[in-house]
Amino acid sequence: MANLNWKQICAAVQKTYKRGQRRLAKTIKNPTPENFHSWRKRVKDLWYQLRILQPLNRVVLTEMAHEAEILGELLGREHDLHFLWTRLEKETGDKALRDELVQLGRLIRKRSKRLRSDALELGRRFYAEPAKAFGKRISIFVGRRL
């Protein structure tokens, strides 16, 4: 990292933001569990970067990192429910559990739908800014004009 300059660091954050935008667009177009999970990975990448930069502008970057963290948590909970349901579906051979699994499946689908909806709503707001403008804004927040 010693060889990196601020322009390169801000460009890397901008690139990560752009990747998140692309994953969001793909998820909107095709809302599969796999796409939601891939999008979550990009959100977490940006969250990590923003956390590293936080000391340079605690007020603004802490808020941005917090929004990314919330988005990542929503996507993570959705992924956890998908994983849980995938495992539970394999238990359908047990007739004694069948009714309970049907009820649980309904609850999981309902909660997953809500989590996906909330994540998409927050994601659209979080990723609304063009990537280039986001990168420029980050450079201003860290006190390094590009």
pLDDT in tens, the chain (146 residues): 567 788 889 999 999 999 999 999 999 999 999 999 999 999 999 999 999 999 988 889 999 999 999 999 999 999 999 999 998 888 767 777 788 888 999 999 999 999 999 999 999 999 999 999 999 999 998 886 54
35, 26 Cβ separation under 8 angstroms: yes
Secondary structure class of 69 (helix, strand, coil): helix
Reported pTM: 0.89
Give the per-residue pLDDT at 1: 56
What whole-number distance in Å separates Cα of residue 52 and Cα of residue 37?
23
